[in-house]
Amino acid sequence: MTTNNTLPVPPYLGEGGHYGRFGGRFSPEALVAALDEVAVAWEKAKNDPDFQAELQRLLTEYTGRPSPLTEAHNFREHCNGARILLKREDLNHTGSHKINNVLGQALLTKRMGKTRVIAETGAGQHGVATATACALLGLECVIYMGEEDTRRQALNVARMRMLGAEVIPVTVGSRTLKDAVNEAFRDWVTNVETTHYLLGTVAGPHPFPSMVRDLHYIIGAEARQQVLDRTGALPDAVAACVGGGSNAIGIFAAFIPDESVRLYGFEAGGDGLDTGRHAASITGGSVGVFQGARTFVLQDEYGQTVPSHSISAGLDYPAVGPEHAWLAESGRATYAPITDAEAMEAFRLLCRTEGIIPAIESAHALAGARKIGAELGPDATILVNVSGRGDKDMTTAATYFGLLDDEGKQDR
Amino acid sequence: MTVLRRKLAEAKAEGRAALVGYYPAGFPDVASSIRVVQAMVAGGCDVIEVGFPYSDPTMDGPVIQQAADRALAAGTTPKDVLAVVRAVADAGAAALVMSYWNPIEKYGVDAFAADLAAAGGSGLITPDLIPEEAEPWIKASDAAGIDRIFLVAPSSTDERLAKTCAASRGFVYAASLMGVTGTRDKVAATARRLVERTRAVTRDSGLPICVGLGISNGAQAAEVASYADGVIVGTGFCQRVLDAPDVDTACQQVRDFAAELAAGVRAAAR
């Protein structure tokens, strides 16, 4: 299969990484030179056939791309009969879409002559992918992870250490993903001569949102062609989960020019927006400046960040990438919250009907597809990004569904 | 002419660098923080940067992070920050606010500029706002007649030094090293070089250059004062308050520390 992997610059991306009033570079002066270096290096690399060939080789031989498109024949009955096509990023090496971005930035790190990589991780998927790429490419690797998350995701800590990474538990602030990002920035400003900050999502200061988008563009480019090949038409809707929003931007990007295709981003609604315990930055937050960009943020009346909550560690972040903020405000994409309960029901249904255990993050997109199906009816074709696999979530799922109770309430 | 510019000019006329102290409003509580900044002024600080506590202080090391966390846990609000500014101004020093950008934007950029001026404040230091993103703030600070202090760093290109100094008013904040706030054993070798490079672009404007990050005793203050227009110290004050058993002791130690630094800036070989 041939896929058009040329990276289009979105027409709405302005100078300095501004998406309308969103994005930009709200960063300390000390990091501006490094951000410029990354921006220039990336512009060169993405137009360099040798770099692209090396990246493509890794994506094919190492990651296992293209990831397949799987039709969910049985799950569709739980989506009001709509035709459901799953983009299987869960089948990538390391188990999620994260590897696409990581391999690109790790190659870029070597190209910039840097020897050390730092990254933040919440659930551990980005940390594991980064540790993997660093092991492959011989880079020193340090992963910052909130102490709270190292406890919740102990197995991923072991995976990262097994791969040779140093995992540093972050014990300041709320001890979760946002604090790991803060700590990574503090490391970067201190060690910028030797170190690249391999940011894991489409957030942060320019050029991270657009560079990470470019590296995930392949998800949508492949999927668009796969859907056309399979059905002879474009899908009616594309669904993805949104935390920082990298998998969603990746699959949306190829469809943004296709005006007939509706784009849906599903945020973590936690216990429900009205409870205040959620991670839905667009649907439950307000505009602010956070970790380098203007975007939607969960914040209080004084601009202090409010802790997020989600059953999915990968969506548990109090802001969202600035391109999503723009897509939401412009109306090109629609964003809606999915509660923990809705996501876990979709998680259970996909397991039972298709034999696919999705990441709980991705289960938010699946729950969203059920709502889109209800809205668009059985004639609709919905492309869903299954951004990751759920092996990492089995402790959470076992607790939630009572799978390890004496009675083994599997039928719940 | 803001009080800040007057204080820097007075220090210069005395043939010395100014002493600039940083302290977060509301740590450990608002009333105590007012007593601490008064002690800093009594000990010899010419200028006080009142820290606006923020939940995600990316440029701060563990000591100032801890102080900000405590201030937020105590319920510190923007009104409290302005109350501390007022206390500094009443004590006779120049009062600045140092804040990450989001709390200012949330307050309202124009409103903050106006309310800061009304509280007797001279200006604002913005560690995560670069001139390229600062248009609303440049307009608001012009309208309110207050100073705006941007930062330069050892990694800044000559072009950016020129741009940042052109956008700054009052002084430009030279970050002595690549890193976050906190004490260091030695003044970074990068500090003097950065000041020299910055001087090259401020020769015409005469914009003062104050140096911060990693300065934590009288000898270091004297060293930096030999080539800078101002010496900025923050973590040392916070550490003394963190370590003190009670506010009275904290204020005494803060005052003594300010006096040590004030002697330092006066002992510098210039």
Please enumerate in sequence order all residues whose Cβ is within 8 A of that of B118, keeping only pairs 6 or more positions apart, or say none.
none
For residue B127, the chain A residue with the least C-alpha distance is A28
Check CB contact of B59 with chain A, cutoff 8 Å. yes
Task: Give the other-Cβ count within 10 Å of A57's Cβ.
Answer: 10
Of B69, B106, B156, which is closest to A299 when you measure between CB atoms?
Answer: B106
Known catalytic residue at A281:
no
Positions of E strands within chain B: 18-24, 47-51, 94-98, 123-125, 147-149, 151-152, 172-175, 209-212, 230-233
Using alpha carbons, select from B239, B238, B218, B226 the residue that is nearest to residue B195: B226
Check CB contact of B133 with chain A, cutoff 8 Å. yes
What percent of chain A clears pLDDT 70, i.e. is strictly above it? 97
Whether A201 maps to a domain, the answer reads yes
pTM above 0.90, yes or no: yes
Residue A330 has phi, psi (to 5 degrees) of: -80, -15
pLDDT tens digit sequence for B61-83: 999 999 999 999 999 999 999 99
Mark whether A326 and A394 lie in a shared domain.
yes
Whether A119 maps to a domain, the answer reads yes
Contact flag B156-A32 (C-beta cutoff 8 Å): yes
Answer yes or no: are the C-beta atoms of A119 and A197 closer than 8 Å.
Answer: yes
Check CB contact of A297 with chain B, cutoff 8 Å. yes
The pLDDT confidence band at residue A4, using thresholds 50, 70 and 90, is: very low
Give the per-residue pLDDT at A269: 98
Answer yes or no: are the C-beta atoms of B166 and B158 closer than 8 Å.
Answer: no
ipTM > 0.85 for the complex = yes
Give the per-residue pLDDT at A408: 55
For the four alpha carbons of B110, B116, B118 and B121, in that order, the dihedral sign comes to: negative
pLDDT tens digit sequence for A282-337: 999 999 999 999 999 999 999 999 999 999 989 999 999 999 999 999 999 999 99
Residue A80, pLDDT > 70, answer yes
Whether A9 maps to a domain, the answer reads no
Q: How does DSSP classify residue A63?
A: I
What is the distance between the alpha carbons of residues A141 and A166, in angstroms, rounded to a whole number? Answer: 6
Straight-line distance from the first to the last Cα atom of chain A, in angstroms, rounded to the nearest whole number: 42
Q: Structural domain tally of chain A?
A: 2
Residue for token digits 């001890």? A175
The pLDDT confidence band at residue A1, using thresholds 50, 70 and 90, is: very low
Domain assignment of residue A198, given as a range: 14-63+97-208
Give the per-residue pLDDT at B115: 98
Q: How far is CA A15 from CA A3, A330, B129, B160, in A?
A: 29, 18, 17, 17
Residue A8 has which token pair?
């289009």
What is the distance between the alpha carbons of residues B40 and A153, in angstroms, rounded to a whole number? Answer: 46
- Give the end of a domain, one of A188, A208, A228: A208
Catalytic residue IDs of B: 49, 60
Top-level class of domain B3-267: alpha beta
pLDDT tens digit sequence for B37-61: 999 999 999 999 999 999 999 999 9
Mark whether A56 and A143 lie in a shared domain.
yes
Q: Compute, in degrees rounded to 10, the torsion defined by CA atoms A344, A346, A347, A351.
A: 140
Mark whether A227 and A365 lie in a shared domain.
yes
Residue A6, pLDDT > 80, answer no
Known catalytic residue at A387:
yes
pLDDT tens digit sequence for B198-221: 999 999 999 999 999 999 999 999
Query: What residues form DSSP beta bridges with A113?
Result: none
CATH label of the domain that carries residue A147 = 3.40.50.1100
What is the distance between the alpha carbons of residues B270 and B260, in angstroms, rounded to a whole number? Answer: 18
Angle at A99 between CA A42 and CA A230, to 5 degrees: 100
Whether A178 maps to a domain, the answer reads yes
